């Protein structure tokens, strides 16, 4: 008897929609659940080489909690590629100007560093307030 390993096909993939309220949630714990959902690891048909995940809408990103001294000591860095082009911004400054980036950066670090990870990150929609334009997709509540 011949046994074969089953592998999902692109036509077998279905992407659902989930919504998460970040108010009062801890950043890292929320980011792990979101990253797992974006990758599709909660599905029985999970395959690490395919984009099996669902769309995730995060609301109230400005009200996310962090523990310890991360508010003042955590630093996000980027470099322009030019001499002297290093820019460093604290979490507090990021929260004031672009609060949705805090969650996006945390989740991005938990996804694969490849084109697959980029595709999965595009399915993450983060909003600072409680309003979002994805109500027509009927997102389900994601349990965190």
What is the pLDDT averaged over residues 77-103?
97
Domain residues for 105?
15-66+99-141
Question: What is the reported pTM?
Answer: 0.93
Residue 104 resides in a domain: yes
Residue 36 resides in a domain: yes
SS3 content of the chain, % helix, strand, coil (to 5): 35, 20, 45
Higher confidence at residue 12 or residue 57?
57
Per-residue pLDDT for 129 more than 80? yes
Per-residue pLDDT for 144 more than 90? no
DSSP string of 18-53, one letter each residue: EEEE-TT-BHHHHHHHHHHHHHTTTSTT--TTS---
CATH number of the domain encompassing residue 124: 3.90.1180.10
Number of domains, the chain = 1
Residue 8 resides in a domain: no
């Amino acid at each position: 008897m011949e046994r074969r390993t089953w592998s999902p096909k692109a036509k077998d993939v279905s992407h659902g929609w989930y919504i998460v309220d970040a108010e009062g949630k801890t950043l890292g714990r929320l980011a792990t659940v979101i990253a797992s959902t974006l990758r599709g690891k909660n599905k029985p048909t999970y395959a690490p080489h395919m984009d099996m995940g669902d769309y995730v809408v995060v609301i109230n990103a400005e009200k996310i909690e962090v523990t310890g001294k991360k508010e003042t000591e955590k630093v996000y860095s980027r470099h322009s590629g030019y001499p002297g082009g290093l820019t460093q911004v604290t979490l507090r400054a990021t929260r004031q100007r672009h609060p949705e980036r805090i969650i996006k950066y945390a989740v991005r670090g938990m996804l694969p560093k490849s084109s697959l990870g980029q595709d999965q990150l595009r399915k993450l929609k983060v909003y600072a307030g409680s309003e979002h334009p994805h109500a027509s997709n009927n997102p389900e509540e994601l349990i965190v």
